Amino acid sequence: MDGLKPKVLLFDIGGVCVKSPFQVILDYELGLGIPPGWVNYSISKSGPTGFWQQIERGDIPMDDAFFEGFTKDLHVQERWEEFYKTQQAKDPRLAKEIPPLPDIDGKWLFNEMLSGSGPDAYDPWMFPALQKLRASGKYILAALSNTVIFPPGHKLYQEDFFDEPVRQIFDIFISSAHVGIRKPDPKMYQLALQKLNDFAKENANDPRHQGKGWETGISPKDIVFLDDIGENLKEARRQGFNTIKVYLGRTYEAVEELEKITGLALEGPHPKIPIKPNYEPRAKI
């Protein structure tokens, strides 16, 4: 991305701006002795009608029926056998006989994932960078996030979803559960482009933003998108966006990429030491 001069920095939230739910999943899988990746594989293979996908689109409420359905999505024998065989091909040390389907408490895991990556769990490398980007005033800062809506009474419920320190950093925040589309649906990226284009043109004459080229609007090549999921980045590139992959436990590498692109000093005080798994063995399969 040498010579790139973006107008927009577009961020995923979980795993980029706040701690990743994938870290919680990894710790849980290692604790159970499950080959890492099973939960993510199971969610992904559930397809658009999976309960995880439905909750992120805001199609269904977060109630007992959701948690029951999500737990069932994590207990499909055929899917487990497919996953385990792919892992055997990668790691010959795994047992040749397929172990029993792991028993996963979907409700506990879901709440633990979201609690471990909630709005108060700021990423120690990216959050200071966001603050410095905001202070610079050089870019449109936007978020494109797959989200869920917590019901009243839930410990993570907020009356105003957008009234929260991380979300308030952004000029535009697109939440999947509020717009009814989730990444990597192409419509999600097209919606982001439309909203960014509208924002740029509406604010181009503001004295604070003159000389930034906003009057001509936003095109895909004007956007740098950061996400931790390969499928989301792949679709973003199809849509013409520039992308940065954010790796689990190593968000500081993405901050370094942003420094190269922006020419700004974005590092905070946190040492550049990868976050390691943190788990206690629960069982072995």
Question: pTM of this prediction?
Answer: 0.92
Query: What local confidence, expressed as pLDDT, does residue 2 receive?
Result: 65
pLDDT in tens, 39-60: 999 999 999 999 999 999 999 9
H helices of the chain, where? 21-32, 38-45, 51-57, 64-73, 77-90, 106-115, 126-136, 165-168, 176-179, 186-203, 230-238, 251-262
* CATH H superfamily, domain 21-115: Putative phosphatase; domain 2 (1.10.150.240)
Q: What is the mean pLDDT of residues 30-47?
A: 92
Where in the chain are the domains? 8-19+121-262, 21-115
DSSP string, 58-70: T-S-SSHHHHHHH
pLDDT at 119 > cutoff 80: no
Whole-angstrom Cα distance, residue 186 to residue 13? 18
pLDDT at 158 > cutoff 90: no
Q: Domain spanning 8-19+121-262: which CATH class is it, in words?
A: alpha beta
Whole-angstrom Cα distance, residue 206 to residue 198? 14
Confidence of residue 88 (pLDDT cuts 50, 70, 90): very high
pLDDT in tens, 178-212: 999 999 999 999 999 999 999 999 999 999 999 99
